[in-house]
Structure 1
């Protein structure tokens, strides 16, 4: 025999189409919906006739129980592989089935004698038989159109919903009612009947494991059914079939209550999904028998006589579906990426769409494959099923395999004592163990990496380091022996700080005969060069060596600033965990962090008590020195951070942000401005004074004048200078600062220095005529490790080729320049980088020549890119201000600047732009965050969910 398959357009990749000898699409594309295609009776018969089909087998879905389809097939001259249409009518709906049972004198569950037309009949039935009851669609199946109503439930609502669902699903809203049995077993009997009045049974199946009346696992034969009950059920099943003049294959279904009384439910006039396990225990090919009986063979000719039909052992079937049990068995869709099935003795697979590359659509039943196992006893069959399910590998869609494994290993299932609501009554079945799918995820990642390159934001190309980074060996210059860095490192400035306190620490630093250095390699250096991408593990690998090599350094700048943002967004690390681990690895060198005044490490003002709490946590977890600054040198904002550090007992380094060249004629940020700001900071109270030159525009001549003037005015105040080497003059500037009286300067190891980073540590040590607390040999030793790290993180570099003296004009901060270049490339302005730098200069003047450090530098950068993208000059921006759709950061800046919602460039701001008068971002002094009431939040959520459930 040859086979002809039909399929909908959406089903064109299904396995049944590919396995058949011929296959034809139902209708043309768009003519039918996915489900309507398989219900198009006339179209199906037309295809069959066109291709000389002699027999139609309806399977077990869609039209398999449709008497109209059967009749039209018969009338067209083809053979219907199933009961005649009049037999389907006589048993195909549940009301007719009950009438059949009464005629055959087979017990049925108490129920209405026929369809119920209105709610009054339903109420009368309940009055007579009591609760619980079940309302069923007369033409239903698969669990649809069924409602259980218990005492206290809304009977009217249940009846109307059931009828409506039945009409939608089956085209007929007729319903009837039965007494509902609590925890019954569902037993069904496989029947075969020929065209000559002969009927046999192939024994029973236990189909009690159901969910929403849909079978999940079936067992043949029933394990715990008493023999006298089994015999009675088998006898009644055959009696029913003979009374109905049944032909072909069918299934008689019964319920058995907890007193072992059985009740007939219905006859399914088709092959069942679970027929496979009956075939396994009896050796009868039921589908082949269907076709042969339809062709005219008798049961005797097929050798199917009742006294010769016996059972052997047990068989279990599991329906593997593309459903997610953890989400209420929600069907999953998508492409099956990996499909590996089980096999071996006693394992049978009946595949639907189970193959790699199959597309699981949302249009049809979610069953993927039926797995049947058989053995000489129930326990062997069960264990084989567990083994088979474990061997399955299905990737790309969720499956119910974890749930099936939980079910098969449950003590009640092991004993074979399940009932129809077992799944709903056993919540522990949903405590499943799911596969992590690590291998497939890794393969998918590697494939995507090979084809599309890195998907990590900001990465360009692959890292240039291909081996493990080597940890350099530190040599004792006095003895020539290698230093064991696993031992306690030499005492450093931190030991002095912990013993004598912040005030004495500041005095001792000021009295140091030379200029100390702070190493920024652990934060600002890699933030400026590598977008802050360096991971904690790469810092910890070099930490013990660092603790020994530069034990005399003033501090390690290692936390704050963008650490939180990048660690959580890109590195997926806990920044607090980083701090604690670094502190444990380096106990002797003070840690310094960057604190944005009232912003903390955020980009806008935070409540005062949030700043206090944050600083206290930072101090307790390892930070010693807090460099506190404000983006606009706003003393009110600065004081919030300073006060928080004082409360926490940390070392305060109040900082002046340096902007542009103060020696430039007409520059508003001149020597007088800086000295006034320093006076205010000293009055506020600080241990150290920080000079923060974010753009690297502090020229050596200006450095001598500025540091010299501060030193003359405040001889005992320790001065700490920070710059970026964007213009290439950083070392010269630092030497000028040291000669003018600066106490500390910020450097980075050679491989992480220069360009937008800090000046080279080795170069400064070589140029300094005096002591810096760190030896050149030690610095070079650390550099060998960081040279490898530069290669490892090379894919995050901005590819700057050399110094950029134009920084004296555009004043782009070193830490921002690499980010701004990356942003320009992302928005298609990569080839207009020179224009962007010029626009940055113009945008700065439009905003009033502001100090440019996070977050104000971002405002200038966003406005510059906005101007380049829209081809706007400064004059265009001023003229069209009220009409332009500015970036959010610019609008936020103006709103804070004016204290009112932004509506174009108001006259006060125009004046501010022209005169260059400095304004400040507004904040709410003394603002405090309300403490969280977790109990109230929980109660509110519970209430909301309860309301949502009620609405649904």
Structure 2
């Protein structure tokens, strides 16, 4: 049996899938990072432009500072960023020189492993991005072969993709990215050999979500078929719409005779920490999911589902979630079956939400959907429904977008911002609202210490601060009673 390595996704994809991408701040990451570094993971799936943006928006924290601090706290484990082709923060393509700066700064700040995720599986864009990552100095460049189900996406399709990237010296390995958790053990037994046989000796990894419980078997099948690295999550950040829980998978892999060189003691401490954090912050733990055949139709990944649920809750329409998912199936078909990976599931689900709560379907259409229909993201896999296409492109906003100039080159874009700011601040200001970046800078350095066991006391003290002056305070728990009376 083979030796299997693990990539941990708790800090990025597990958080994004289960906690809406806003569950971890810098202090919470740093508190456990030194222990994570001792576990023996092949790498840590650490960040993306989406999670960086959420850090700025939600915590007013500098995402570049977080990378640097995490790198110092985890010097022995590569940190990974996942990109979306030639894009950064926004869904529109940036100029090549802008993206080269992005990858340069990732590596300079402590990222050594970069995943190239091209949403349209455009091989030319994949190869161009890989060259940028290698030029930036990335130690490992990994291409995401995003898995989906359709008549076009058969084993020959993925085998052909593998063959086209096999000869690129700037690509070190590939991984099957299954954001919706659709890969069955049966399909893995044909898909994995088709890819491995065409990769020219490059290692293959597997990243599959537990949305309908399939990875518990597909991971074990993949390990027997030549997949060398499996992506997992720890404690409450595993299972559910996240990735497989590392503890159960470890037991099963070892039972089958595979070698997994992991420090089980350190791993247990990591899982215990996240369990205590989830309890202290009132965050949900991932639970094993039952098989749901509807996912094979709408293919919406866990992170997008949690975001859609949150959006519906904010407008008090959470009871219409299933209706939105049903509409998403039809929207995806009408848009030519885009692969449900960022940014397309967000587009599809947002449009489905507009269609459900609006007076008429496609009355409200986002700029992103218009750009998709215009072909700005690339050519759709199948033709867009003609009626839907005409309805979208007839909108005045579509004509405005068609008239927009292409992304400016880096030299021109720099002129819009002060010359004395760092490259990192420039990249944030060029892609995010100014008020959000200003608020982040005004907030100062992020906190670096966090103890989940102290959180209940801190919440109590915060609540006491909000009490009107002169109020009496009574604290009761079990047989304990404390009264604080104003003088």
Question: Shorter-chain TM-score: what band?
Answer: 0.7 to 0.9
The aligned runs of 1:515-594 (5 Å cut-off) are 515-533=4-22, 534-548=24-38, 550=39, 552-594=40-82
Partner of 1:624: 112
Q: How many angstroms does 1:557 deviate by?
A: 0.9
Task: Confirm or deny that 1:929 pairs with 2:414.
Answer: no
Q: How many angstroms does 1:600 deviate by?
A: 3.2
Work out whether residues 163 and 200 of structure 2, in 8 Å CA contact, stay in contact via their aligned partners in 1. Answer: no
Which residue, out of 662, 674, 692, partners 2:177?
692
The aligned runs of 1:290-329 (5 Å cut-off) are none
1:522 partner SS? helix
CA distance in structure 1 between the partners assigned to 2:202 and 2:288 by the alignment: 39
Task: Confirm or deny that 1:641 pairs with 2:125.
Answer: no
CA distance in structure 2 between the partners assigned to 1:859 and 1:596 by the alignment: 15
Work out whether residues 695 and 811 of structure 1, in 8 Å CA contact, stay in contact via their aligned partners in 2. Answer: yes
Q: Which has the higher contact order (CA 8 A, sep 6+)?
A: 2
Cα shift readout 1:813-840 (whole Å, capped 9, x = no counterpart): 1121100111122234311111111111
TM-score by length of 1: 0.39
Cα shift readout 1:295-345 (whole Å, capped 9, x = no counterpart): xxxxxxxxxxxxxxxxxxxxxxxxxxxxxxxxxxxxxxxxxxxxxxxxxxx
Cα shift readout 1:812-868 (whole Å, capped 9, x = no counterpart): 011211001111222343111111111111111111111011111111011111222
Which residue, out of 137, 157, 161, partners 1:673?
157
Q: How many angstroms does 1:808 deviate by?
A: 2.0
The aligned runs of 1:370-381 (5 Å cut-off) are none
CA distance in structure 1 between the partners assigned to 2:64 and 2:352 by the alignment: 35
Work out whether residues 32 and 273 of structure 2, in 8 Å CA contact, stay in contact via their aligned partners in 1. Answer: yes
Q: CA 1:935/1:815 → structure 2, altered by over 3 Å: closer, same or farther?
A: closer
Which residue, out of 645, 655, 659, partners 2:144?
655
Which residue, out of 740, 752, 766, partners 2:225?
740
Q: How many angstroms does 1:798 deviate by?
A: 9.9
Cα shift readout 1:517-539 (whole Å, capped 9, x = no counterpart): 00111211111111122011011
Work out whether residues 600 and 641 of structure 1, in 8 Å CA contact, stay in contact via their aligned partners in 2. Answer: no
CA distance in structure 1 between the partners assigned to 2:49 and 2:285 by the alignment: 20
CA distance in structure 2 between the partners assigned to 1:935 and 1:695 by the alignment: 40
Q: How many angstroms does 1:775 deviate by?
A: 4.0
The aligned runs of 1:77-476 (5 Å cut-off) are none
TM-score by length of 2: 0.75
**Greater strand share, 1 or 2?**
1
Task: Confirm or deny that 1:615 pairs with 2:96.
Answer: no
Partner of 1:383: none
CA distance in structure 1 between the partners assigned to 2:214 and 2:178 by the alignment: 13
The aligned runs of 1:743-754 (5 Å cut-off) are 743-754=228-239
Task: Confirm or deny that 1:895 pairs with 2:383.
Answer: no
CA distance in structure 2 between the partners assigned to 1:728 and 1:935 by the alignment: 48
Q: How many angstroms does 1:803 deviate by?
A: 4.1
Work out whether residues 766 and 776 of structure 1, in 8 Å CA contact, stay in contact via their aligned partners in 2. Answer: no
CA distance in structure 2 between the partners assigned to 1:799 and 1:733 by the alignment: 19
Which residue, out of 192, 199, 202, partners 1:714?
199
1:562 partner SS? helix
Work out whether residues 608 and 927 of structure 1, in 8 Å CA contact, stay in contact via their aligned partners in 2. Answer: no
CA distance in structure 2 between the partners assigned to 1:541 and 1:935 by the alignment: 35
1:764 partner SS? helix
Partner of 1:701: 186
Work out whether residues 47 and 81 of structure 2, in 8 Å CA contact, stay in contact via their aligned partners in 1. Answer: yes
Task: Confirm or deny that 1:859 pairs with 2:347.
Answer: yes
Q: How many angstroms does 1:569 deviate by?
A: 0.6
Q: How many angstroms does 1:933 deviate by?
A: 4.2
Task: Confirm or deny that 1:514 pairs with 2:3.
Answer: yes
In structure 2, stretches of 5+ residues that fail to align are 391-401, 421-487
Task: Confirm or deny that 1:766 pairs with 2:251.
Answer: yes
Q: CA 1:907/1:838 → structure 2, altered by over 3 Å: closer, same or farther?
A: closer
Q: CA 1:615/1:712 → structure 2, altered by over 3 Å: closer, same or farther?
A: same
CA distance in structure 2 between the partners assigned to 1:927 and 1:656 by the alignment: 30
CA distance in structure 2 between the partners assigned to 1:544 and 1:899 by the alignment: 42
The aligned runs of 1:484-503 (5 Å cut-off) are none
CA distance in structure 2 between the partners assigned to 1:829 and 1:908 by the alignment: 26
Cα shift readout 1:39-78 (whole Å, capped 9, x = no counterpart): xxxxxxxxxxxxxxxxxxxxxxxxxxxxxxxxxxxxxxxx
Q: How many angstroms does 1:553 deviate by?
A: 1.5
CA distance in structure 2 between the partners assigned to 1:701 and 1:752 by the alignment: 27
CA distance in structure 1 between the partners assigned to 2:41 and 2:80 by the alignment: 12
Question: Highest CA radius of gyration, 1 or 2?
Answer: 1
CA distance in structure 2 between the partners assigned to 1:712 and 1:626 by the alignment: 23
Work out whether residues 866 and 887 of structure 1, in 8 Å CA contact, stay in contact via their aligned partners in 2. Answer: no
CA distance in structure 2 between the partners assigned to 1:826 and 1:642 by the alignment: 39
CA distance in structure 2 between the partners assigned to 1:761 and 1:845 by the alignment: 35
Q: CA 1:565/1:798 → structure 2, altered by over 3 Å: closer, same or farther?
A: farther
CA distance in structure 2 between the partners assigned to 1:909 and 1:546 by the alignment: 49
Q: CA 1:777/1:808 → structure 2, altered by over 3 Å: closer, same or farther?
A: farther
Q: How many angstroms does 1:717 deviate by?
A: 1.3
2:17 partner SS? helix
CA RMSD in angstroms comes to 3.0
Q: CA 1:675/1:908 → structure 2, altered by over 3 Å: closer, same or farther?
A: farther
CA distance in structure 2 between the partners assigned to 1:561 and 1:705 by the alignment: 33
CA distance in structure 2 between the partners assigned to 1:722 and 1:936 by the alignment: 41
CA distance in structure 1 between the partners assigned to 2:35 and 2:3 by the alignment: 24
CA distance in structure 1 between the partners assigned to 2:268 and 2:19 by the alignment: 21
CA distance in structure 1 between the partners assigned to 2:249 and 2:243 by the alignment: 11
Q: CA 1:937/1:831 → structure 2, altered by over 3 Å: closer, same or farther?
A: same
1:523 partner SS? helix
Q: CA 1:937/1:869 → structure 2, altered by over 3 Å: closer, same or farther?
A: same
CA distance in structure 1 between the partners assigned to 2:333 and 2:2 by the alignment: 42
Task: Confirm or deny that 1:729 pairs with 2:214.
Answer: yes
Work out whether residues 596 and 602 of structure 1, in 8 Å CA contact, stay in contact via their aligned partners in 2. Answer: no
Q: How many angstroms does 1:906 deviate by?
A: 4.8
Q: How many angstroms does 1:898 deviate by?
A: 9.4
Q: CA 1:782/1:743 → structure 2, altered by over 3 Å: closer, same or farther?
A: same
CA distance in structure 2 between the partners assigned to 1:635 and 1:629 by the alignment: 11
Q: CA 1:909/1:635 → structure 2, altered by over 3 Å: closer, same or farther?
A: farther
Q: How many angstroms does 1:935 deviate by?
A: 10
Q: How many angstroms does 1:684 deviate by?
A: 3.7
Work out whether residues 298 and 329 of structure 2, in 8 Å CA contact, stay in contact via their aligned partners in 1. Answer: yes
Larger deviation: 529-538 or 888-897? Answer: 888-897
Cα shift readout 1:625-682 (whole Å, capped 9, x = no counterpart): 101111121223323321210111212101111113x6xxxx2211122112222222
Aligned length: 396
Q: How many angstroms does 1:889 deviate by?
A: 2.8
**Greater helix share, 1 or 2?**
2
Q: How many angstroms does 1:754 deviate by?
A: 0.5
Work out whether residues 97 and 410 of structure 2, in 8 Å CA contact, stay in contact via their aligned partners in 1. Answer: yes
Task: Confirm or deny that 1:786 pairs with 2:274.
Answer: yes
Q: CA 1:693/1:924 → structure 2, altered by over 3 Å: closer, same or farther?
A: farther
